[in-house]
A and B are shown apart, each in its own frame.
With several copies, the nearest count.
Chain A
Amino acid sequence: MSGGDRLPPEALGALEALLFTATEPVEPARLARALGFTEGQLRLAVDGLRARYAGEESGIELVEVAGGLMLGTKPAFAPLLEEMGRRREPAPLSRAALETLAIVAYRQPVPRPEIEAIRGVNCESPLRTLLDRGLIRPVGRREAPGRPTLYGTTDAFLRAFGLRHLGDLPDPEPPSPGPDAWPLETPAGATS
């Protein structure tokens, strides 16, 4: 390491900010270029960050992977993170979204006007939420005036609710077997 490898005071911070916002491992050469560092300076900065992360009061560390550097949490905190279900936990569904989802689940394929007729309010926003969250999707269009988009549930919906298939959806009206519960009662005699 040459004597010219002095670090500017904010070098560690700059390196940290760069790595913090990276989506994948960053090659050392690219880091050096971005920071305007020599190779020696980058090595110093990396060592400096490593040292800062070394203590047990630090939750992250610098890892080298796939030819690049990135930040990651320390393995010691894996159990904690796993417990937190660190697969991004979005806010729970709103009442409006849940009701809309229920209607789509039970009535699919169903167009928006029908959902709105049932709920009695505009459902644009809950539908968008459900689409964004991958719980419903457009499955076609109804052959009717305006050809409204029909919505149905997705595989992600099944997974999220622990359903193997749509047939697993519980009967929403268990007490009273509806008026046309025909098939359940029909004996085998129907065989042509």
Chain B
Amino acid sequence: MVAPRTGYQVRLRVYEGPLDLLLDLIQHNQLDIHDIPIAEITAQYMAALSAMARLDLDVASEFLVMAATLMAIKARLLLPRPAERPPDGEWEAGPDPREELARRLEEYRRVKAAAEALSRRRAAWSLRYFRPGVPGQPAGEPPGPGGEVSVADLVAAFRDVLARAGPDLPREIYRDPVPLRRQLAAVLRRLRASRHGLPFGALFRPDADRHEVVVTFLALLELTRQGRVTVQQALPFAEIWVYLRRAGDCPGRPAAGPPASRAAGGHGGGER
């Protein structure tokens, strides 16, 4: 979960962050990263921060954290070393408190160098031009799936993903959404079994939920579009009837419709 942190994303005019600012101060003063005069750098750093504040640049919290770090290092350097070392030598060879900072600065400096190297590389490469649509700019039709992906791959992927999801899927998802394909077959089957077509309403299971009703309706539309079924209505507001179209049927003349349907069927009801 990523919380939006707008105040955090402030782009200072010049500096990418506290390390960038520090590095700039170090380079500007021609200092050695591994031997930073902390008191001086801290003073300059704080001055830079207040300059940013004066310019009304929102000083991001990272800059403040670094300020605190610098102060802490400075304080530790100022602390007098104990005159007598404890017998266990605990104070001996204590790490230079500046070491960690130097390591981070050195690392960041390398990143900056790498970024510049990439940038130069890109500039050189951009002197080359390619055939239109190259590289990576889709020209015209979207590229489709690519490679040789078959329906079988698709089915296998679906099975895999369901198997992997296991039983603890959210309920809402497990509820079978009644695939259109199944509903297509169902509608066809029921029409085949009925000799005279079916009233529209009879295609829906009495306890069908909204989703199933929608899919059944979509199935009906699809079958109509495919010309496998005709839908007719004798009069406005009258019952709508659905007929299976058999091979050789005249469009709009169901093989065995009730007389009522013929009345309105002269113009080829469901045919287009």
**Interface positions of A (Cβ within 8 A of B):** 17, 20-25, 63, 70-75, 77-78, 81, 86-93, 95-96, 98-99, 101-103, 105-107, 114, 117-122, 124-125, 132-135, 156, 159-163, 165-174, 178-184, 186-188, 190-192
Residues on B with C-beta less than 8 A from A181 are 182
Considering only CB atoms, which chain A residue lies closest to B125 in the complex?
A: A162
| Interface size of B in residues (CB-CB distance below 8 Å) | 96
Residues on A with C-beta less than 8 A from B127 are 75, 78
**Interface positions of B (Cβ within 8 A of A):** 2, 5, 8-9, 11, 16-20, 60, 62, 66, 104, 107-108, 110-122, 124-139, 141-155, 157-162, 164-165, 169-170, 172-173, 176-187, 189-190, 193-194, 198-199, 201-202, 205, 219, 222, 226
Q: CA separation between A95 and B221, bound complex, in Å?
A: 33
Residues on B with C-beta less than 8 A from A24 are 134-136
Q: CA separation between A120 and B149, bound complex, in Å?
A: 23
B181–A120 CB distance below 8 A: no
B153–A98 CB distance below 8 A: yes
Q: CA separation between A17 and B201, bound complex, in Å?
A: 61
Q: CA separation between A92 and B5, bound complex, in Å?
A: 24
Contacts A17-B129, A91-B146, A167-B222; is A162 near B16 (CB within 8 Å)? Answer: no
B124–A191 CB distance below 8 A: no
Q: CA separation between A77 and B141, bound complex, in Å?
A: 24
Considering only CB atoms, which chain B residue lies closest to A94 in the complex?
A: B11
B114–A172 CB distance below 8 A: yes
Contacts A72-B129, A75-B124; is A106 near B190 (CB within 8 Å)? Answer: no
